[in-house]
Amino acid sequence: MIDKNQFRGHEQLAYFHDKESGLKAFIAVHDTSLGPAAGGCRMWPYDNEMDALNDALRLSRGMSYKNAMAGLPLGGGKAVIIGNSKTDKTDALFKALGRCIDSLGGAYITAEDVGMTEQDMMMIATETDYVAGLPQGDHASGDPSPFTAKGIYNGIKAAVKYKLDKDSLEGLTVAVQGVGHVGQYLCGHLHKDGVKLLVSDIVQENLDYAVEHFGATVVATDEILSVKADVLSPCALGAILNDDTIAHLKVPIIAGGANNQLASDSHGIRLMDKDILFAPDYVINAGGIINVSGETTGDYDVNWVNEKVENIYHTLIHIFERANQEGRPTNIVADEMAEEIIASAKSA
């Protein structure tokens, strides 16, 4: 496992199994050079523990880069619970996870992610102070999804400006894969700008909401990655840009909120070769962790949060320009920029 490519640069990896509650979870701490590791907790019915481990390792590394590129005083970490978020949630399970997080002594701060809710975070918080994104309490900021969506919206505008030389999104077509919390908020921003929306999701009620409130057109889940549009915005799970899907893409821009959209770094090269502009996911989807960072300071300031979220636009423009100048894929350029920031913190 230590030889695995994902396990590079990680400071700590913990596996927790609480027999009484049934909790099985990994917590990965990638880097704390910039501050305590922060990243959401994900609950997912992984097929096996190795899949969960790989997810924790990839996502925690992504959080280090995300926090560095967003200019936050936080390192990168991630927690993953092996379980079905629809059937396996119990108070005992989340209390057990809270004790696990607390045992790390502040090296990792958790927040809401896929399969988790604000109420789940409140239960975890009964056992540890190292929780953010709470709906109530001192300096609580609540659900980070609106801020994540606003950052993606800003990122789409940056990509459209750079690639299509358009200052407005009006009249463009955006295909959104996944219209859960983040996807719905994103569709709301795009709809107000006069965007034609194509949407897909595995949950029918999410699709119904998008159709009713945003006039969206539903596309089958196995077709959304091959539709003709101005922007493809993946907002579900990762690894959707691979050898099979890239061959069928019919968009000039990919800019969405899903983590780890590229199945491997080499797929960034494939996108560049097809003249598709890719907005690195951990840069464009940083709005949620920016909001969480504002909460962890103990002096939450929504104006500071909004300013940081707006800056995602400028950060992406800088990445696009550097990638173009150097003739390299945007994902590799963004990685190097993040590593430069982390290395500078280490030396300091």
250 is catalytic: no
Which one is catalytic: 4, 19, 24, 78?
78
Q: In what order do the strands lie in the sheet with 231-234?
A: 217-218, 196-200, 173-177, 231-234, 253-254, 277-278
Q: Which residues are catalytic?
A: 78
